Structure 1
């Protein structure tokens, strides 16, 4: 018996032409922490609902570990958040997550992500989101995918529109004291997904199905 027998979700692997996505393991945490410390966005404005990247190093590092451990422990059929480490040439460069509540009935997923700044602007954000959508629609049986981004976050919105999402309303958020943002909601039906030209390679989905209530 090994770790994969104890937690079969770790068997999941998504491979694109340039990237590998796999559920975050403890061994990935130092690389992900460094990717976050290297910078994710301009210091003046956070694209996140919770400004976690604003924390000083001594807080950011353990907070990242706590978040990963908490989300991993919460994966259950009724509600789950799969945190995928995004690897380029074996090196962690960001995180792509996939979330669902009552998936068996709603067949709806949502997602969020971050990518270290040095790897932005190269199409990798689109590639990792496309991988997640291919996995959700073709292997889990999702019919709808949702996302969101602040109205000023044009790179994130551009990725969504490129893949076929459509605007689905606006919500006001306050990520930190004294700051109010308009958040654009986005919705994508499986039939409207603009599929990439490449094929996704997937391993371990059968072992993960019982944890995600996928029939």
Structure 2
């Protein structure tokens, strides 16, 4: 598991870092906000179709920076052992390319997590979305001790659902929901450690002990 390190600062989750062959993932810090905002403003999806259940990318270029910072701070302030989000910034060759979230409610009892992510348009199409989701799943299953992971996407979002299928997710029901300002069929999917199609690389992890202690995990 992750080796012991000296905690820097007052937020132990900042110690966590995940490494894949092409990516580095760590919990977003205030000094990362400028790069995160620049990545979001550079474009994530075509303007005519928003893949997010909360259409945060529809904010104006003036509003989005403040909204992004508030979201990161609110997520951090709301984190405790019973309900938490690990908002992992994703870097490729030193450039901030997106975010991979791992979320949970009642995790110590339920052992279930959810995942969500976004990737700047210029980094799409090279398999990075699959690699960063695989990193999140490997960490959740092998280090946090999750027994199941769920995700969802609008039924038309084949890019997201294709990544899910490639990693071993199976369908878990379709619901008709308000998705942003549109009514959509939403496909739910789930995966377990047994059905997870693991990549052919080993995840590098450091700082896990700080996370486990803060979340009161065994």
Same fold, judged at TM 0.5 (above): yes
User: What is the aligned partner in structure 1 of residue 189 from structure 2?
Assistant: 186
| 3-state DSSP of counterpart to 1:137 | helix
User: What is the aligned partner in structure 2 of residue 137 from structure 1?
Assistant: 141
Please give the alpha-carbon distance, in whole angstroms, between the structure 1 residues aligned to 2:215 and 2:164.
Answer: 24
Mapping of residues 15-164 of structure 1, within 5 Å:
15-164=19-168
Is residue 103–residue 213 contact of structure 1 (8 Å, CA) maintained in 2?
A: no
Please give the alpha-carbon distance, in whole angstroms, between the structure 2 residues aligned to 1:176 and 1:97.
Answer: 19
Please give the alpha-carbon distance, in whole angstroms, between the structure 2 residues aligned to 1:86 and 1:168.
Answer: 28
Aligned CA-pair RMSD: 1.2
1:165 aligns with one of 160, 165, 169: 169
1:196 aligns with one of 185, 199, 203: 199
What stretches of structure 1 move > 4 A for 4+ residues in a row?
none
Q: TM-score of the superposition, structure 2-length normalised? A: 0.95
Distance 1:7 1:176, change over 3 A: closer
> Which consecutive residues of structure 2, in runs of 5 or more, have no partner in the other structure?
1-5
Is 1:211 aligned to 2:214, yes or no?
yes
| 3-state DSSP of counterpart to 1:41 | coil
Is residue 150–residue 191 contact of structure 2 (8 Å, CA) maintained in 1?
A: yes
Is residue 52–residue 180 contact of structure 2 (8 Å, CA) maintained in 1?
A: no
| 3-state DSSP of counterpart to 2:57 | helix
Please give the alpha-carbon distance, in whole angstroms, between the structure 2 residues aligned to 1:160 and 1:166.
Answer: 8
- 1:128-153 Cα offsets, whole Å, 9 max, x none, are 00000110000111010000011100
| 3-state DSSP of counterpart to 1:77 | coil
- 1:56-109 Cα offsets, whole Å, 9 max, x none, are 011111000000010011111010011000011222111000000111111100
| 3-state DSSP of counterpart to 1:109 | strand
Is residue 75–residue 212 contact of structure 1 (8 Å, CA) maintained in 2?
A: no
Is residue 103–residue 212 contact of structure 1 (8 Å, CA) maintained in 2?
A: no
Cα deviation for residue 3 of structure 1 reads 7.3
Please give the alpha-carbon distance, in whole angstroms, between the structure 2 residues aligned to 1:176 and 1:214.
Answer: 35
User: What is the aligned partner in structure 1 of residue 3 from structure 2?
Assistant: none
Cα deviation for residue 176 of structure 1 reads 3.5
**Where is the helix percentage greater, Structure 1 or Structure 2?**
1
Q: TM-score of the superposition, structure 1-length normalised? A: 0.96
Please give the alpha-carbon distance, in whole angstroms, between the structure 1 residues aligned to 2:147 and 2:160.
Answer: 22
Cα deviation for residue 4 of structure 1 reads 1.8
